[in-house]
Structure 1
């Protein structure tokens, strides 16, 4: 399994980024340009490019990759039916997980001041006790819960308080770590071995253009 971490995603759209739109699908292009904020457009664009970059590097595939959305709007790579990938983005950074063995879910959040006021709505008592007013621990539990629900395919639409991530903290399938000032989580169905590629936007730009 490969994890790609991209930081310092630009906040302002420039004309040069329009060239990168040629390397994503028409459907994705429409979604990117539908965002009002430049920062959201760029996060969406680089997330799509990062998936393509990662799959190509893992497989050596040189041709264009195509994707189809099926259940729960989850995209799948048509050229590699055994490939599962997931990405998440937040303020200026993107995390992407790609595996050819089972399912994967990832999440990333900037380690800012945590919204403790929502804890009673989203965390169980054991999780709240673990957090104990600590900002980083809040985002550890939050990103772990996001990654887990994305991996198993339910998203945060179920009774998420019933999912106790403290019970899963010591599982090989769950990894929580920090990259710069971001808290990252990964949950994998089977593939617990992974490496992290720390990518820059310049590397992505050179690869495609």
Structure 2
């Protein structure tokens, strides 16, 4: 069995964001609070978000969901615009056959929770998933139905291990563009590399703030990962 150890992400792990013009093969992870800081206003959001994004925003009823979506699209556009040296409102988003998003040849992936918005940006395919470690969540049925036998044995009854595997599976399927599939039990994510494509995907998992699991899937294990706090 592989030694699947979690790396810890603390406040010291995140650097204050500095604009970067070129990625070079590196992987950049951005952490944004899901709730606005005191006095923080996105006054130019209506000018930056697309008509489609604004329409989707208008359909959301819960204020928390509206703010989460608005902030995620606003910061995503601003982050990508730095890398592409473009106006945030002018970005041309595309999706492949599996609905995997990209913009002007740049790969990105986004995951959201009630507390954080996490955005991964790279020149290579990337997938990312963040999950809150729910203390009262019954995960036994999910393990039995959707996890590989190797994963089931490794998890047993360990809650932290369950959410580690769950985020690793989601990260891989987001990186490939497959999304959630019916045959999730056909592949294991215990190994540091998973082969859903010829090149495979390198996996890393982190314990964040002691109550979140964050997992990354990339097809380039030689890249350097930068963690940025906005």
Secondary structure of the structure 2 residue equivalent to 1:57 = helix
Supply the distance in 1 between the matched residues of 2:113 and 2:168 (Cα, whole angstroms). Answer: 15
RMSD: 2.6
Secondary structure of the structure 2 residue equivalent to 1:165 = coil
Paired residues, number = 191
Matched, 1:26 2:51: yes
Q: Please point out which of 192, 195, 215 is paired with 1:185.
A: 215
- Indicate the structure with greater helix content: 1
Matched, 1:175 2:204: yes
How far the C-alpha of 1:172 sits from its partner, in A, is 7.9
Secondary structure of the structure 1 residue equivalent to 2:224 = coil
Aligned to 2:160: 136
Aligned to 1:75: 101
Secondary structure of the structure 2 residue equivalent to 1:72 = coil
How far the C-alpha of 1:42 sits from its partner, in A, is 1.9
**CA 1:143 to 1:36, structure 2 compared with 1: closer, same or farther past 3 Å?**
same
CA contact (8 A) 2:193 2:202 kept: no
CA contact (8 A) 1:43 1:92 kept: no
CA contact (8 A) 1:89 1:108 kept: yes
Structure 2 gap ranges (5+): 1-26, 195-199
Supply the distance in 2 between the matched residues of 1:50 and 1:75 (Cα, whole angstroms). Answer: 16
Length-normalised TM-score, structure 2: 0.73
Supply the distance in 2 between the matched residues of 1:172 and 1:195 (Cα, whole angstroms). Answer: 18
Length-normalised TM-score, structure 1: 0.80
